[in-house]
Amino acid sequence: MSVATEPVVARFEIPRLQYLDEDGRLRNGLPEAVADAKALVPLFKQMLYVRTFDSKAIALQRTGKLGTYAASLGHEATHVGIGHSLAAEDIFAPSYREYGAQFMRGVQPRQVLMYWGGDERGNLLEGGPAHDYPWCVPISTQCLMAAGAALSIKLRGQKRIALACCGDGGSSKTDFYAALNSAGAYTLPLVLCVINNGWAISVPRAAQTGAETLAQKGLAGGLMSLQVDGNDLLAVLEALRRARQRALAGDGGTVLEFKTYRLHDHTTADDARRYRGEEEVKDAWSREPFIRLRKFLAAEGLWDDAQEKAWIEECGRKVDIEINAYLETPVQPVEAMFDHLYAELPLDLERQRDAAIAREKRA
């Protein structure tokens, strides 16, 4: 008696991109996105600049000069790669720690400090493209904003893309799924970057989704889906080249999962030692992006200790200029907290504003 077999209606696979291994050795040549290894040097320098800014911003918070701060330590290759790959006319919708991408797009570091210092004018992102979105703390809602921007791009017949970033935890939000479903249904020029750093605050990646990869979530919406070694700048650049080229050609959106690691606390209000072990973090340091790319560039004769020492000193000077600009920014009056909420304040907020002003005068 024969047993009927059920037909398979579809099969899928998730490719993984990696060009530099953990020891900085090149696998199978440079990707199409990198014509010459020399082109990596300014990006490497930008990664080091971001790391310098990060450490000084944390020090500012620890000394009471910032309210809180979300470090980007360990994410530099992914963030800088995103910023480098976007064209000026593209639309960027970040979460709240993609400083490397924003700096590449012209945002002044002092704006980041103003934002985390409680000054809403930091959200103006002066120096960056006016069409980019400000930071988004509510998880993954920026994905929907980017999907809406991508729909506008398509309806206007424009040659540009919209790109949003979220974390591994953010990929479990309904906002993320709605965005990717819209991109698939309407063939939108949307790139969703899931920066998988292993932890959704204190929730490990394994506890917040049963998916074998986070990239495969895009398959349900009909999007191209890739998993990328987010600690390998070359892989980041190549993944974004493919996604952007696909979008511009009218072939639709892409979900990119960048596997990296959060080497610092979630924010300065967090203590990651309470939920993850020392060995895990130590292992992650052995695979971090900065050391890997430095080994490769040194082997190519493009970087050495003298260059690094000089650049670190220059980074320190550059960041100090931004810090001083932030610290010298005059404190706004109390009523400024109402200035960036509505074009026209509702009556209840008008009353709150008047009460705040009156209270200040009494003091």
The answer to whether 242 and 225 are in contact (CB under 8 A) is no
**262 assigned to active site:** yes
**246 assigned to active site:** no
Give the CA dihedral 227, 230, 235, 240, nearest 10 degrees. 70
Q: How far from 99 is each of 24, 120, 266, 308, CA to CA, in Å?
A: 24, 17, 15, 21
Q: Which of 131, 275, 340, 351 is catalytic?
A: 275
**264 assigned to active site:** no
Backbone phi and psi for residue 339, each to the nearest 5 degrees, phi listed first: -75, -20
Q: Which of 262, 264, 287, 294 is catalytic?
A: 262
Q: Which of 266, 287, 292, 353 is catalytic?
A: 266
Which sequence positions are flagged as catalytic? Answer: 262, 266, 275
